[in-house]
Amino acid sequence: MTDRENVEKLARMIGFRTVSAQPDSFFEMAPFLELQDYLQEVFPAVHKYFKREIISRGSLLYTLPGSNPSLKPIMLTAHLDVVPAEEGEKWPHHPFKGIIEDGRVWGRGSVDYKIGVAGMLQACEDILNAGFKPDRSILLAFGHDEETGGVNGAAETVSLLRYRNIQLSSVLDEGGYIYSLPWLREDAAVIGLAEKGYLTLKLIARGEQGHASVPGIRTAAGVLGECLSSLEKNQMPVRLSEPVERMFKATKHLLNDSLREELVSLSLSEMTNIIEKWSIGNAFIRTTTATTMLQGSSRENILPAEAVALVNFRSVPGDHSNDIVNHVKEIAFPLGVEVEFEDIRKVFEPSSEASTETDDYRSICEAVEEIWPGLAVAPGIFPAATDSRHYGQIADNVYRFVPAHLGETGLGVLHSEGESVSVEDYLNAVDFYALYIRKMCGE
Ligand SMILES: [Zn+2]
């Protein structure tokens, strides 16, 4: 197989419109089934040696038993589903054609997260063809509904593995990248040791419904606006989790020169003050506050009886959802604004923090260092959520790293128009996964 043929497999995979839908809405399963057939066709060695199981019709679980059953298995996981994409002017290339141009593979899912599905399968194909026999069992798990919470994919996979009494040494999932952080002069590989929690609150301000010609001094919408503005001005306090503190320390020597002059002592508190000005910096160091949905009256000349906002919080390790609710109530109640959970089932606390004192973590770091010599490697956290909220239940540790450069756009590239990955990154990703597996499973 040539590099070109390998890259074309990733490109072809983008052509399957595996868009996941919210639970309770129509789920178009055909592209997932077609993709399953395609994977069988282009990864013959994997399908010969691994056992493949289909979970909830759309998710895949591959198992290659190791020769030493006393070693806990490792799992590498990615997801098959993608968020929707409308073709249009903002896409330089069609989102579902998998165009290879300018040294990049373009399309929805290229980074999030078909680079993982293709990269992991190709890595296994390569090592199997080279005659590699693992001592430790290898599991590959590819969910089909990660973008909508993973309840049918990852959660069901976990139920099955739990039934079989399988405890994993570790899971390698998405959630750390090779970042171009705006305060650093060089890229850094950040391995996510934890992911943030999730909470959406509903804020309701009530008023008199009536004619807009006689509104009185205060309106429901005005009160709600004041409350939302106050929430932005009174953010949750900075909370430096251990992984982020370690990330700052490990990358201090790469700080932008201009920043070095600004920072007198290079102390952590000084750094957090500076870094919070960037959205990614802010997301690393505190529970974020984002007003996302607003509702008032349906007519321009009617005052709303209630004005409603949904505010989404992503909590850093150390902040519990109760802390956030109390913080919001302190601001909302004096204004007469009510606070409710939008959906209590969608509340997640931040994950636990993975250990860096494991062979699994060391193997990830070594593989990165071998493939990108000189690249800084640091622990960190992932500001969003992944299927690992499920897999973490049966794993000693979860590590989050996708071997791809996000570039200036940062995490914004994941669901953006123009999502793409460089051909070089993809080929390196294949080598990275192969190296990681070899280190963990016997060589
Ligand atoms: Zn993803």
Q: What is the pLDDT of residues 140-180, one digit of tens each?
A: 999 999 998 899 999 999 999 999 999 999 999 999 999 99
Q: Output the CA–CA distances (angstroms, integers) from residue 342 to 198, 200, 214, 322, in the order listed.
A: 11, 6, 32, 14
Ligand 1 centroid–CA 280 distance in Å is 17
Ligand 1 centroid–CA 210 distance in Å is 46
Asked whether the predicted pLDDT for residue 64 surpasses 90, the reply is yes
Asked whether the predicted pLDDT for residue 258 surpasses 90, the reply is no
Q: How much of the chain exceeds pLDDT 90, in percent? A: 82
What confidence score (pLDDT) does residue 40 get?
98
Q: Which residues are known catalytic residues?
A: 81, 146
| Domains (range + CATH), the chain | 3-192+352-440 (3.40.630.10), 196-346 (3.30.70.360)
Nearest-10 Cα torsion for 172, 178, 184, 185 = 150
pTM of the shown model: 0.92
Q: What is the pLDDT of residues 288-333, one digit of tens each?
A: 999 999 999 999 999 999 999 999 999 999 999 999 999 999 999 9
At CB < 8 A and 24+ separation, what contacts does 390-393 make? 390/150, 390/154, 390/155, 390/157, 390/158, 391/75, 391/77, 391/141, 391/154, 391/157, 391/158, 391/168, 391/171, 391/173, 392/171, 392/351, 392/352, 393/158, 393/162
Strand partners, 206: 306
Which range has the worst mean pLDDT, 88-92, 170-174, 205-209? Answer: 88-92
| Helix or strand run (H / E) with residue 382 | strand 376-382
Q: Output the CA–CA distances (angstroms, integers) from residue 140 to 143, 372, 426, in the order listed.
A: 10, 24, 18
Instruction: Please report which confidence band the pLDDT of residue 400 belongs to, taking 50, 70 and 90 as the band edges.
Output: very high
Asked whether the predicted pLDDT for residue 443 surpasses 70, the reply is no
411 or 394, greater pLDDT: 394
Ligand 1 centroid–CA 147 distance in Å is 7
Ligand 1 centroid–CA 201 distance in Å is 24
DSSP string, 284-352: HHS-EEEEEEEE--SSTTEE-SEEEEEEEEEEPTT--HHHHHHHHHHHHGGGT-EEEES-GGG-BPPPP
Sign of CA dihedral 392, 394, 396, 402: negative
Q: Output the CA–CA distances (angstroms, integers) from residue 277 to 127, 274, 319, 412, in the order listed.
A: 45, 6, 21, 17
